[in-house]
Amino acid sequence: MGRLSKGKTIPVLTVLSVIVAVWYVCVVWMNAQWEYDQAERAGTTIEFSQLVSNTMHQERPVLPAAHQVFAEMWETIVNKKITSKRSLVYHAWITLSATLLGFAIGTVLGILISVGIVHNRAMEKSVMPWVIASQTIPILAIAPMIIVVLNAIGISGLLPKALISTYLSFFPIVVGMVKGLRSPDQSQLDLMHTYSASATQTFWKLRWPSSMPYLFTSLKIAVAISLVGAIVGELPTGAVSGLGARLLAGSYYGQTIQIWSALFTAAILAATLVMLVGLAHTYVLKRMGQQPGGVA
Amino acid sequence: MSGNKVISSENLSLTFETNDGPVHALSDIDLKIDKGEFVSFIGPSGCGKTTFLRVIADLEKPTSGAITVNGMTPEEARMKRAYGYVFQAASLYLWRTIEKNIALPLEIMGYSKSEQQERVARTLELVDLTGFAKKYPWQLSGGMQQRASIARALAFDAELLLMDEPFGALDEIVRDHLNEQLLELWDRTNKTICFVTHSIPEAVYLSTKIVVMSPRPGRVTDVIESTLPKKRPLEIRESPEFLKIAHRVREGLRAGHSYEE
C-alpha cells in the first residue's frame, strides 16, 4: 500500500477509471434516444435498467462502448490473418509504411532546408516564408492534388501518400533544427573562430551535436503528424486499404465500431512511434554523455 | 614596427555603432608587449579591456589605427594559430569528455591521432587534471573546468595565451590556487600571456606589466612595470612592495573612473 501510494500507479489508475466511467455514461446518454424510438415504435415502454443494458450492445451505436471497441479490435487484430483485407494489422501496415517513408523523406528534407537557412542569409529570407506558408494550406485540399498530379506523371501507390506525410512532417524539423543549429552560444562559436575552423568543421563539431535535443523534440512531433498525413492521404483519394480507408468505409456504412477501432489503432500506432523516437533520444543523449567521442 | 614585439598597437581605436549612437570602446591605444611578458589589463566594466583582447584575437576589427600580432595582422596571426584563447566561461563542449575537449583544436588543426593523444596527456598533466581525461565537463568543479579550458588553449603550443577573466566566476580560494598554478605554468612554458581581470590583487600578483584602463572612451591611463621577482609565493601579497604597486593601480583606476553615473 505504501509503495502504491508513493508511486504513480494509483493516480494513473484513478484518472483512467474516471475516463472510462465518463465514456460509459456518455454511451448510455447518447444511445438512449434510439432505444426510446424503438420502444415507441413497438408501442412499449422501456425500463431504465433494460435501457442501460441495451445501449451497451447496439449494432450501430452513436457512441460505441469501450468493450465493443476492444472486442472489435481483438477480432480484427488478433483473430484475423494479417494478410486478410479485414485485418487491422494489414491496414495499419499500409498506413505505417507510408508514414515511415514520408517521415524519413521529411526528416532529411527538413534537415537540409534548415542547414541551408542557417548558413545562407538569402535562403533564410527566401525559403522560410514559403515553409511557413506551406503549412497554412489545408492538407485536405492539397492531398487530392498531389495524388492526381503524381498519377499524371506515372507515380502512384506508396509514394504519393508518403509525400503527403512529408509535406506535414518536414515543417517541425525545419523550425526545430534552425533553432538547434543556432543554439551554440557566442563563446562556443568564437572558440571555433580562434581555431580558424572551417564552416564544415564548425558544423560537425559544434552545430550538429548542439542541435540533437532540438532534433529529437522535432522528430517526436514529426512522426505523429506523419501518421496524420498518411491517414489524411487515404481519405480523399478513394484508397481501399489503410487506416484512412477503414475510417472512410466505416463512415459510409455507419459502422461506428469500425471507425472507433481504426481510430484507436491509429492512436496506439502514434503513441508507439513517439515512444520509439523517445527511446532513440534517450539513447543518443546517453551516448553523448557517457561515451568518449559522443556524437559526430 | 619592431619584429620582436609580440603585440604592438598604435593609435588603435574601435567604435561600435549601436542604436543609442556610437560607443567608443577603444580610443588611441598605444601598447607594446614583449615576448614572455605577463600583462594584465585591469579596469571597470566598459573600459574596453575585453574588447582589446578580442581585437588581438581577430574577434573584433579595429575602426582605425594599427595593430600587429607577432608582426602580422591579427587575421594572419589567427590563421597561423598564433594564440590560445581562454574565455570567461570555460565553454567546454558538454558532449565531449575532457580529453576530447582538449583534442578539439588538435582535430581541427589536423594533428595525427597519436600526436593528439600525446599532447592531450601532456597538457592534462600541465594543468594537473591527469585523472580526469574520461570525465564529462559536468562531472568537474568550476575551477577544474576552467583548468581544462586552459589546457585546451595550451594544447597546440601557441606562444601567446589570451585570457579573458578566466577566474572571474570562481571563489577566492580556488582563484588563489589557480593563480599560483598559472604563474608556475607561465614560468615553465615561457609563454606571453595577456590577462583580463577586474581584481587588483590578481593583476598585481600575476603580472610583469599592468595596463590600467578607464571607460568612456576606453583608454589606457597607466602602464605599470612590476618590480616583483619572477618567483612569487602567495605571501608576497602582504609585502610592502606588492601593496605599493596595488596602491598605484588603485590610484590609476580612481583617476580614470568617474563615479557620477
Which of A42, A61, A80 is the endpoint of a domain?
A61
Q: Do B91 and A197 touch (CB under 8 A)?
A: no
pLDDT, tens digit, 9 for 90 and up, residues B138-166: 999 988 999 999 999 999 988 999 999 99
Residue A195 covered by a domain: yes
Contacts with B109 from chain A: Cβ below 8 Å: 195
Which of A61, A80, A103 is the endpoint of a domain?
A61
Q: And the C-alpha cell for A237? A: 483519394
- Give the residue carrying C-alpha cell 568543479: B141
Residue A71 covered by a domain: no
Residues A146 and A267 in one domain: yes
In this complex, which of A187, A197, A295 lies closest to B87 when CB atoms are compared? Answer: A187
Q: Do A188 and B79 touch (CB under 8 A)?
A: no
Residue A165 covered by a domain: yes
Q: Decide: residue B180, CB within 10 A, 0-12 exposed, 13-18 middle, 19+ buried.
A: middle
Contacts with B84 from chain A: Cβ below 8 Å: 194
Residues A181 and A57 in one domain: no
Residues B78 and B179 in one domain: yes
Residues B1 and B46 in one domain: yes
pLDDT at A91: 92
Residues B66 and B5 in one domain: yes
What pLDDT band is residue B258 in, cutting at 50, 70 and 90? Answer: low
Residues A237 and A281 in one domain: yes
Residues B140 and B177 in one domain: no
Q: Do A194 and B59 touch (CB under 8 A)?
A: yes
Q: Do B100 and A190 touch (CB under 8 A)?
A: no
Which carries the bigger pLDDT value, residue A7 or residue B178? B178
pLDDT at A2: 54
In this complex, which of A206, A288, A292 lies closest to B134 when CB atoms are compared? Answer: A292
Residues B46 and B174 in one domain: yes
Which of B157, B176, B205 is the endpoint of a domain?
B157
Q: Do A190 and B87 touch (CB under 8 A)?
A: yes
Q: And the C-alpha cell for B85? A: 584563447
pLDDT at A292: 41
Contacts with B95 from chain A: Cβ below 8 Å: 209, 212, 288-289, 294-295
Residue A169 covered by a domain: yes
Residues A144 and A25 in one domain: no
CATH classification at residue A177: 1.10.3720.10
Residue A267 covered by a domain: yes
Residue A279 covered by a domain: yes
Residues A170 and A219 in one domain: yes
Residues A53 and A122 in one domain: no
pLDDT, tens digit, 9 for 90 and up, residues B38-56: 999 999 888 899 999 999 9
Residues A55 and A93 in one domain: no
Residue B127 lies in domain: 91-157
* Cα A197 to Cα A155, A178, A204, B164, B255, distances in angstroms: 44, 21, 11, 21, 42
Residues B170 and B250 in one domain: yes
Average pLDDT score over chain B: 90
pLDDT at B189: 86
Residues A36 and A114 in one domain: no
Residues B203 and B253 in one domain: yes
B7, B194 contact by CB (below 8 A): yes
ipTM: 0.87
Model confidence at B2: pLDDT above 60: no
Looking at the structure of chain B, the number of domains it has is 2
Looking at the structure of chain A, the number of domains it has is 2
Which of A26, A42, A61 is the endpoint of a domain?
A61
Residues A147 and A280 in one domain: yes
Residues B153 and B256 in one domain: no
Enumerate residues 189 to 218 of chain A having a beta carbon within 8 A of any beta carbon in chain B. Answer: 190-197, 201, 205-206, 209, 212
**DSSP code string of B156-212:** T--SEEEEESTTTTS-HHHHHHHHHHHHHHHHHH--EEEEEES-HHHHHHH-SEEEE
pLDDT, tens digit, 9 for 90 and up, residues B61-115: 999 999 999 989 999 999 999 999 999 888 899 999 999 999 999 999 999 999 9
Low-confidence ranges of chain A (pLDDT < 50): 1, 291-296
* Cα A8 to Cα A172, A219, A274, B12, B116, distances in angstroms: 32, 27, 21, 65, 49
Residues A92 and A54 in one domain: no
Q: Which value, to the nearest 10 degrees, does the dihedral of the CA atoms of residues B58, B61, B64, B69 take?
A: 0
Beta bridge partners of B85: B162
Model confidence at B261: pLDDT above 90: no
Distance CA A173, CA A214 (A): 9
pLDDT at A289: 81
Residue A45 lies in domain: 2-61
Closest CA of chain A from B61, distance in Å:
13
Residues B259 and B134 in one domain: no
pLDDT at A80: 85
pLDDT, tens digit, 9 for 90 and up, residues A245-276: 999 888 888 889 999 999 999 999 999 999 99
Residues B112 and B41 in one domain: no
Question: What is the edge-to-edge ordering of all strands in the sheet holding B38-42?
Answer: B83-86, B160-164, B192-197, B38-42, B209-214, B219-225
What pLDDT band is residue B257 in, cutting at 50, 70 and 90? Answer: low
Q: Do B93 and A206 touch (CB under 8 A)?
A: yes
Which chain B residue has its CA at the smallest distance from A197's CA? B108
Residues A99 and A207 in one domain: yes
Which chain A residue has its CA at the smallest distance from B156's CA? A195
Which of B123, B157, B191 is the endpoint of a domain?
B157
Residues B152 and B174 in one domain: no
B92, B66 contact by CB (below 8 A): no
pLDDT, tens digit, 9 for 90 and up, residues B185-230: 899 888 999 999 989 999 999 999 999 999 888 889 889 999 888 8
pLDDT at A4: 58
Residues B11 and B63 in one domain: yes
* Cα A80 to Cα A72, A73, A249, distances in angstroms: 11, 10, 18
Q: And the C-alpha cell for A207? A: 552545430
Contacts with A194 from chain B: Cβ below 8 Å: 57-59, 78, 83-85
CATH classification at residue B9: 3.40.50.300
Distance CA B148, CA A140 (A): 56
What pLDDT band is residue B127 in, cutting at 50, 70 and 90? Answer: confident
Q: Do B99 and A292 touch (CB under 8 A)?
A: yes
Percent of chain B scored above 90 by pLDDT?
A: 66
pLDDT at B260: 46
Distance CA B204, CA B207 (A): 6
pLDDT at A6: 66
Residues A55 and A96 in one domain: no
Residue A125 covered by a domain: yes
Which of B157, B181, B212 is the endpoint of a domain?
B157
**E-strand stretches of B58-191:** 64-69, 83-86, 160-164
Q: Do B87 and A288 touch (CB under 8 A)?
A: no
Residue A83 covered by a domain: no
